[in-house]
């Protein structure tokens, strides 16, 4: 039977069997909300040590049929290792273990108290220092990877997860639903596919950032690939501009953040 980490009894047996915890240890296990493409569980050990376990889903939890190979979690594991070497210390959670059979990874949990940056922005809590950090982290990824391109370009050349989780459902699906925009979107898809310049996170947005002690921690790296860095910049800017639309009283502040 395949492992479901959202089942506490199954997960407990798995952690004991694999030697990740003691045979008599019973940690606290909490399923984390918002998992569209993964099962995500917070495991807190008796010592206070906390892990986050992620297990990729073959069929995403959305209304339309949306499939992607669960092997993408291993791309995320590679991303965790690589990004930790490119970004400022503490930006990327440490990878603890990886299971190629159950398609799951374990990483250190971000300490409490922390906050999701997207939720902070929706509440109007915009700090330009956070925006500056966000820009510096992305610059460290794009610039650092380009300097190591001889090694990293072959390692991240497979774009299949970016295709199935970004280009097809975002641009391709929208082109089908909005024929008046189809020409523009299909040209954009073609241009994005043609460019292979540096390491691209592919999900670079405030929703994948936690704020702990004033520092940003970047999460969710399953579509990382060697490609067009403009995708990350555009993806990030849409969040600031959409917040400017959502919070009209702070429209100028969010517009400034998008330009920063």
Give the tens place of pLDDT for each residue, 158-187: 999 999 889 998 999 999 999 999 999 999
Q: For 116, left (φ over 0), alpha (ψ -120 to 50), or beta?
A: beta
* Measured distance CA(178)–CA(174) in Å, rounded: 6
Label residue 103 exposed, middle or buried (CB < 10 Å: 0-12, 13-18, 19+).
buried
Looking at residue 129, its pLDDT comes to: 96
- Whichever domain contains 49, its CATH number is 3.30.200.20
Do 92 and 119 belong to one domain?
A: no
Residue 77, helix vs strand vs coil: helix
Do 94 and 54 belong to one domain?
A: yes
Domain limits for position 47: 1-109
- Whichever domain contains 151, its CATH number is 1.10.510.10
Which segments in the chain show pLDDT lower than 50? 1
* Measured distance CA(237)–CA(243) in Å, rounded: 10
Looking at residue 259, its pLDDT comes to: 81
Looking at residue 181, its pLDDT comes to: 96
Residue 27, helix vs strand vs coil: coil
Do 100 and 125 belong to one domain?
A: no
Do 28 and 126 belong to one domain?
A: no
Tens digit of each residue's pLDDT (9 = 90 or more) over 1-17: 489 999 999 999 999 99
Domain boundary (94, 109, 124) is at 109
Do 19 and 91 belong to one domain?
A: yes
* Measured distance CA(167)–CA(171) in Å, rounded: 5
Give the C-alpha distances (Å, rounded to integers) separating 105 from 59, 84, 100, 213, 228: 18, 16, 9, 25, 27
* Measured distance CA(94)–CA(33) in Å, rounded: 21
Global pTM reads: 0.93
Number of domains, the chain = 2
Asked if residue 39 lies in contact with residue 4, where contact means CB atoms within 8 angstroms, the answer is: yes
* 169: DSSP letter: I
């Amino acid at each position: 039977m395949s492992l479901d980490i959202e089942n506490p009894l199954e997960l407990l047996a798995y952690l004991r069997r694999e030697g990740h915890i003691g045979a008599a240890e019973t940690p606290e296990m909490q399923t984390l909300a918002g998992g569209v493409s993964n099962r995500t569980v917070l495991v807190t050990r008796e010592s206070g040590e906390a892990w986050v376990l992620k297990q990729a889903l073959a069929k995403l939890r959305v209304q339309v049929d949306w499939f992607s190979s669960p092997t993408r979690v291993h791309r995320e594991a590679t991303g965790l290792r690589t990004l930790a070497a490119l970004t400022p210390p503490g930006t990327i959670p440490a990878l603890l273990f990886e299971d190629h059979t159950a398609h799951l990874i374990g990483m250190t949990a971000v300490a409490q108290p922390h906050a999701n940056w997207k939720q902070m922005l929706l509440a109007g809590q915009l700090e330009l220092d956070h925006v500056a950090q966000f820009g510096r982290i992305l610059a460290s990824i794009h610039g650092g990877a380009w300097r190591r391109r001889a090694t990293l370009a072959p390692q991240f050349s497979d774009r299949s997860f970016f295709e199935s989780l970004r280009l097809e459902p975002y641009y391709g699906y929208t082109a089908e639903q909005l024929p008046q925009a189809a020409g523009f979107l299909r040209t954009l898809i073609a241009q994005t596919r043609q460019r292979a310049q540096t390491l691209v996170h592919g999900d670079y947005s405030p929703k994948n950032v936690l704020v702990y002690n004033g520092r940003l921690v970047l999460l969710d790296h399953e579509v990382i690939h060697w490609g067009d860095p403009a995708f990350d910049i555009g993806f990030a800017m849409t969040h600031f501009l959409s917040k400017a639309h959502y919070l009209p009283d702070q429209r100028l502040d969010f517009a400034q953040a998008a330009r920063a």
